[in-house]
Structure 1
Amino acid sequence: MQLEQLSSYITQKGDTWDLISFKVYGSTDYIEQLKSANYEFLKLVSFPEEVALVIPQIEIENKGSTPEWF
């Protein structure tokens, strides 16, 4: 299921790869895709403010976390 996604993200102080993945994709399953698109920041674990990251468009699978009736 493809959802509308951002093409870039500006970090907030303390953002981490998993938190950014959750914020933009709704899941921490896409950390590797984020890292691949932003290889120049791989050494960062916690981001400072205002780092512009590329957010790749990916196919997001619905894993059934939302009830069918919703």
Structure 2
Amino acid sequence: MSTYVTVSGDTWDKIALEQMGSEYLFPLLLTANPQYRLVLLFTSGIEITIPEFELEDVYEYQRPAWLEEDLDDETEEEETLAFASEEDS
């Protein structure tokens, strides 16, 4: 585990994005720092713990469920276009 010292204006999702690579990983920060769970906007100088994690273990945090619908739509659209191209040939 590592630590991060906040700057004025930091939010959980901003810290998760900058320190962990994705704003969707902020629940891991909340779990590691329950004493600050009610903080929405940080002041400067607060030391928080950045947990170690394997991205494969937290995939659910990486991509919210509502985005999966868009992915399915894109896949269907690509399949439809590929099928239409085959018919034209």
Q: TM-score, normalised by structure 1?
A: 0.75
Paired with 2:18 and 2:45, the residues of 1 have a C-alpha distance of 15
The structure with higher relative contact order (CA 8 Å, sep 6+) is 1
Structure 1 unmatched runs, 5+ = 1-5, 64-70
Q: C-alpha root-mean-square deviation of aligned residues, in Å?
A: 1.6
Q: Given that residues 15 and 46 in structure 1 are in contact (C-alpha distance below 8 angstroms), is that contact kept between their aligned partners in structure 2?
A: yes
Larger Cα-atom Rg: 2
Identity %: 33
Q: How many residues align?
A: 57
Aligned to 1:27: 22
Structure 2 unmatched runs, 5+ = 57-61, 63-89
1:55 aligns with 2:45: no
SS of structure 1 residue aligned to 2:55: coil
Post-superposition, which runs of at least 4 consecutive aligned residues in structure 1 deviate over 2 A?
none
